[in-house]
Amino acid sequence: MRFIHAADIHLDSPLTGLSAYQDAPAELLRTATRDAFENLVSLALEEQVDFMVIAGDLYDGNWRDFNTGIFFSGQMGRLKQAGIRVYLLYGNHDAESEMTKRLALPDNVHAFSANKAETFKLDDLQVALHGRSFKVAATTENLVHTYPDPIPGWLNIGVLHTALEGHTAHANYAPCSVAELHAKGYGYWALGHVHDHQQWDGASRIAYPGNLQGRHIRETGPKGALMVTAQGPDIQSVERVIVDVLRWAALDVDVSHARTLAEVVQCVGLSLEALVSSTEGSLTLAVRVRLTGSSPAHGHLFGLESQLRAEILNQAAAIAPGRLWIEKVKVETQPIELPAQVAARADAIADLQSILANAEDDQEFLQSLREDLMQMVGKLHLDVLHAVPQLEALRNGDARDLVRSVVPSLVAHVAQAE
C-alpha cells in the first residue's frame, strides 16, 4: 500500500517584491504553486497510489476570488476518476477563521473537523487516519493529547499541523515534542507547517515533507512531497518525490583571489555553471549571488552594483538561456587593508578614512546628505527600500547607517584608483 504525504502547498500564494525586478520570470512565479500541485497529482495518477494526505496550508489565507478553489476541485476531480481518496487537514493559513470563501469539496476529499480530532477508517486497507484541523490560525494548544488511541493491528496515521519542538523560525502553532508523537503509538505522523523536509525514526515514523514549491529565497533547494510505502501496520519506506517547477538557490562565491570586476564576473560564471550542472532536468533557477572574501577587487566594485548585476545576468544568459534568473547580487566582500592598516599609512588615504569616519557624527553633514538623497529615495519602490536597510533608515531620518556602510568601500576604491 502506498500513499502520498504533502503539506504547505500554499496555492496561489501572493508574490511580493517582483516589482523591484523588471527581468523577473513573473508568469512562472505566479503559477508555480499551481504547476507544482499539478505535477503532484500527475505523479499520484502515474504511481496509482491508494490515497493522498495534505497536512495543512493547502491555501495561503482567504482567496482573492473563487478560482483558487475551482482549480483545487479540478485537480481533485482527476484523482476521483482514478479512485484516489484525499484526506485534508486545514492549518494556520487555511483555518476556519482565515477563510471567508468556501466551495463544496468533491466527494473523494475528506476534511478533518476543527471541533475535535476525527478518525477516517479505510476498511479495505485497514488504515486509520486521525487528525484535527485548525479552527483559528493562532492555535497554540498541544493537539496531540486530543487525538484518539490507535486501532490495534491497523496502520494508524496521525495528521498534524505543528511547529514541533525547536523550530523557532516558524510560528509556535500546536506545539508538541517528538517524544509525545512516538508515545502515541501511531505508525506514521504526517506533519505540516515547517517548510523543510525532515524525518525521525523510532516507535513511529515522523516526517515533514516540506512545502511543495519554494516561493522566495528563504525556501531554497528541491521541494516536493513524500511517497510512503507500508505493509500491513508497518512503514516500509519514506521517499521524497520532487515536483517543483522553479528552484531557489543561494550561491556564495568566494572572490578572494579576484583583482578586477572582470575576474569577479568570471568567478561567478564558473559557480553558475557548476550550479546548473548539479541541477537535474531543465528547471528554472532563481539565484541570489553573494560575493564573499577579502578581495583585491573590493574597491573596484564600489558604485558598480548595477553593472555587476548586468554582467552576471549576461553570464547567466550565455550559460543556460532561459533557465537562470539572478534575483539579486549582494556584495559582501571585504577590503584587503583593514581600517587600522589604512590609518597606519599616514597619507591622504588615511586622512580620507579619518574624515569619513568622523562624518557619521557630523549632524550638519548628515542632515545635508539626507536632504540631497531623499529626492532620489522618494522615487524608489517600497520593495527596493525594504531590500536595502540603509535606504529604509535614511527614509526614517537616519543617514548614519548609509555613511557607515559606505566608508570601507569608498576608501578601498580611492586607494585602488590611486
CA distance 342 to 259: 19
Residue-level pLDDT, tens digit, the chain, 418 residues: 999 999 999 998 876 555 556 677 877 888 899 999 999 999 999 999 999 999 988 988 777 778 888 999 999 999 999 999 999 999 888 866 566 667 889 999 999 998 899 999 999 999 999 999 988 777 778 888 999 999 999 999 999 999 887 655 556 777 888 999 999 999 999 999 999 999 999 999 999 999 999 988 899 999 999 999 999 999 999 999 999 999 999 999 999 998 888 999 999 999 999 999 998 878 899 999 999 998 888 877 776 777 888 899 999 999 998 889 998 888 888 887 555 554 555 556 555 556 666 666 667 776 776 667 666 656 655 555 555 555 566 566 666 666 655 655 554 555 555 5
Give the pLDDT score at 65: 79
pLDDT of 291 reads 93
Question: How far apart, in Å, are the Cα atoms of 383 and each of 14, 45, 331, 367?
Answer: 14, 41, 19, 25
How far apart, in Å, do the first and last CA atoms of the chain sit?
72
The predicted structure's pLDDT at residue 271:
96
Whole-number pLDDT of residue 222: 94
Q: What are the DSSP E strand ranges found in 274-370?
A: 284-292, 324-331
Could you give the CA distance from residue 4 to residue 230 in angstroms, rounded to a whole number?
Answer: 11
Domain ranges, ordered by start, for the chain: 2-242, 246-334, 338-418
Nearest to 330 by CA among 292, 375, 367, 275: 292
pLDDT of residue 111: 94
Identify the pLDDT of residue 370: 65
229-256 burial by CB neighbour count: b if 16+ within 10 A, else e?
Answer: ebeebebeebebbbbbbbbbbebebebe
Q: What is the DSSP string of 251-265?
A: EEEE-TT--SHHHHH
CA distances from 410 to 30, 142, 165, 290, 339 (A): 39, 54, 46, 20, 12
User: Which residue has cell 575576474?
Assistant: 263
- b/e per residue, 193-228, with b = 16+ CB within 10 A? bbbbbeeeeeebbbbbbbbbbbbeeebbebbbbbbb
Q: Name the one residue in this structure whose C-alpha cell is 523557532.
A: 168
Its sign, for the CA torsion 370, 375, 376, 382, is positive
Rg (CA), the chain: 26
CA distance 253 to 263: 12
Question: Counting runs of H as helices and runs of E as strands, what totals does the chain give?
Answer: 11, 15
Burial class (CB in 10 A: 0-12, 13-18, 19+), 18: middle
* Calpha distance 110→151 (Å, rounded): 19
How many angstroms separate the CA atoms of 131 and 160, rounded? 6
Cell numbers of 23, please? 527581468
Alpha carbon distances (Å) from 408 to 189, 218, 336, 403, 415: 52, 29, 10, 10, 11
Q: What is the pLDDT of residue 342?
A: 47
**From the candidate CATH numbers 3.40.605.10, 1.10.3720.10, 3.10.450.50, 3.60.21.10, the one assigned to the domain spanning 2-242:** 3.60.21.10
Residue 162 phi/psi, 5-degree rounding, is: -150, 150
CA-CA distance, 315 to 256, in Å (whole number)? 20
Q: Which residues have CB under 8 Å from 18's CB, separation 6+?
A: 24, 26, 29, 383
Question: For the whole prediction, is pTM greater than 0.75?
Answer: yes
